[in-house]
Amino acid sequence: MALLQNGALERRFLSFINREQLFDQTDCILLTISGGLDSVVMAELFRSAGLRYGMAHVNFQLRGAESEGDEAFVKELAEQHGVRFHTVRLAAKNESEAQGISTQMAARKLRYDWFEQVAEEFDYARIATAHHQDDVLETILLNLVRGTGLTGLKGVPVRQGRIIRPLWFADRTMIEAYAQNGGIRWREDSSNASDKYHRNRLRHQVVPVLKEINPNLLETLQTTVARLRSADALVDAEIRRSWEKLAEMRPEGIFLSIEQLLLLEEWEYRLAEWLKPYGFQYAQLGDMAETVRADGFGQQFYSATHLLIRDRDYLMIKPRQAAPAQTLILDAIPATTLNVFGQYELYFELIPRSGDFQIPVDSNIACLDAERIQWPLTIRIWQNGDRFRPLGVKGHQTVGNFLTNRKVTIAERQSARVLVSGDRIAWLVGYRPDDYFRITDQTRTILKIERRFPAQR
C-alpha cells in the first residue's frame, strides 16, 4: 500500500467507520490500549476526529519493570487526551495453569472478559481493538497451519459482538508512518522481537517472503477476504436452512433423521457445522460419519457439554447431565396420582375381581394380582442385568434385550423405568408386566396402574 499523509489516513479512518457502520458519532467507545504503536495510533485517530472514548489497559505483570512502564505510559496518555482511564492487574499464568491452556490464550480470555465488564459498567457502546491488515494476514496463516474452514480464512473480523476493529483497513507501514509524521510516542514490547511465538515467526520469516512475491499482498488480501466473507455468509445461510428443515426438537433432545441426512449434498460438512455449537470437534467427524453409514445403533460421542447418540433411524443430541437418582418408594397405594419426575403420572386403583372384568389391551395399563405384591414398591430407571419374565413370553430375559427386540429408541431406553416388588420386577412401565403377577382364576383383587401423559389429562 502507498504511504498516506496523516490527513489522508484520518479521512480513510472515518470513511471506514462510516462504511462499516461500526458505531454512531454520539457513542462512547472503550479503546483497548497496550501502549504499543497500533493502539496508540488508534487513540490519536479517535482524538483527532473528536470522537468520544475512554482507555483500558491490562497489566499482566509478565515483563517486570517493562509491564509497569506500559501501565504508567497509558495512564499518562489518557491524562493527555483528557479521557477516562481504566486499568487492572491480572494473573495470566495462574489462569493458564488452572485451565490447562497457554499463557497467551489465558491472557486473551482474561483481557476480553475484563473489557466486557468495563464496557457494561461504564456504558461504552463498543470495544475497539487496533488490529489491522498485517494482523489479518498473520491470523489467516496461523489458521491455515493449524487447520481451518472458511471462517478461519477470513482472519480477524471487522466486528465481533461488541468488539470493533476500526484500523482493519490499514497496514503496519501506514500506521508507523502516521506515528512518525505526527511525532507520536509509543512503547515497544520486547517480546515482539522474539521468534519464540508462532505469530512472530510468521511475521519475521514468512510474511516478508510473501510480500516479495506479491508487493501488493495486503491489497490483494482485502479483496480475497471480502470474497471469503460473502462465500461464508452463503454457506452459513444454507447450513441454517437445512438444520431448520431437518432438526426435530423433542423433550428428550434434538433428533436428526439419518435417512434425510444422507440425502443432503456434503452431509458430513453440514453435520460438523451443526454440531459445532454443541462443542463437538471436526476431528470427531470421521468416526461419526462411519457410524452414520453403518448399520447398528447405540454408538455415542461426547463433547464437553453434549452427547451425540446414534439410534436406529436418528442421531440424537442431548446435554450431558449427571442423572439424578430418580427413585420413588411407595409404602402403600398413593392417595392421589403419582407424578414421576414430570414425565408422566401413575394412577393406582384396587379393583375386586369380578367375572366380567376385562384386562385392557393397553401397554400403558398394568393389571397385577394384588395379593402377590410386596410393599414397599420401588420405581426406578432400569439397570443392566435387570431380568423379568414378560407376560405371555416363555422364560426370563433381560430388560435390555426386551427393549432391543422391540426396537425401542435410545432416548426411550434411557428413560425406561421398572416397578419393583420385593426382588421382582412387576412391571416394565409402559411396556409389559411380569408373568408372575398375571391375573388368574385365583386372583381376588387387582392392582390396576395406569400411566398417563400430561396431554391425556
- What pLDDT digit, counting tens, does each position of 311-325 carry? 989 999 998 865 555
Q: What is the mean pLDDT of the chain?
A: 91
Q: How confident is the model at residue 455 (pLDDT cuts 50, 70, 90)?
A: low
Q: What percent of the chain has pLDDT over 90?
A: 73
Mean pLDDT of 46-54: 97
Residue 345's DSSP bridge partners are: 339, 452
263 belongs to an annotated ligand binding site: no
Q: Could you report the per-residue pLDDT of 399-427, keeping only the tens digit for each? A: 999 998 888 888 788 889 999 999 999 99
Task: Give Cα 312 distance to the centre of its chain.
Answer: 26
Average pLDDT over residues 57-84: 94
Please give the helix or strand (H or E) that residue 345 lies within, else none. strand 344-352
- Is residue 6 a contact partner of residue 102, using CB atoms and an 8 Å limit? no
82 appears as a binding residue in the annotation: no
Helix 172-181, helix 6-20: angle, nearest 10: 130
Residue 2: its pLDDT value, please? 46
Residue 314 burial (CB count, 10 A): 23
Tell me the C-alpha distance between 78 and 57, whole Å. 10
36 assigned ligand-binding residue: yes
Cell numbers for 230? 460473502
Task: Give kind and range of the element (H or E) at residue 338.
Answer: strand 338-340
Percent of the chain clearing pLDDT 70 (strictly above) = 95
Nearest to 169 by CA among 5, 7, 11: 11
Question: Looking at residue 98, what is its pLDDT?
Answer: 67
Contact (Cβ atoms closer than 8 angstroms) between residue 159 and residue 23:
no
Mean pLDDT of 278-304: 89
User: How large is the average pLDDT for residues 185-192?
Assistant: 88
pLDDT tens digits, residue range 434-454?
A: 999 999 999 999 999 999 987
Structural domains of the chain, ranges and CATH numbers in brackets: 1-217 (3.40.50.620), 251-319 (3.30.465), 327-452 (3.50.40.10)
Q: Is 34 annotated as a binding residue?
A: yes
Residue 422 annotated as binding?
no
Q: 102 or 432: whose pLDDT is higher?
A: 432
Higher-confidence residue of 385 and 437: namely: 437
**Average of per-residue pLDDT across 100-120:** 86
Residue 286 is labelled as binding a ligand: no
Q: Are 295 and 287 in contact (CB under 8 A)?
A: no
- Mean pLDDT for 162-166 is 97
Torsion sign, CA atoms 366, 367, 372, 374: positive
Reported confidence tier of residue 101, pLDDT bands at 50, 70, 90: low
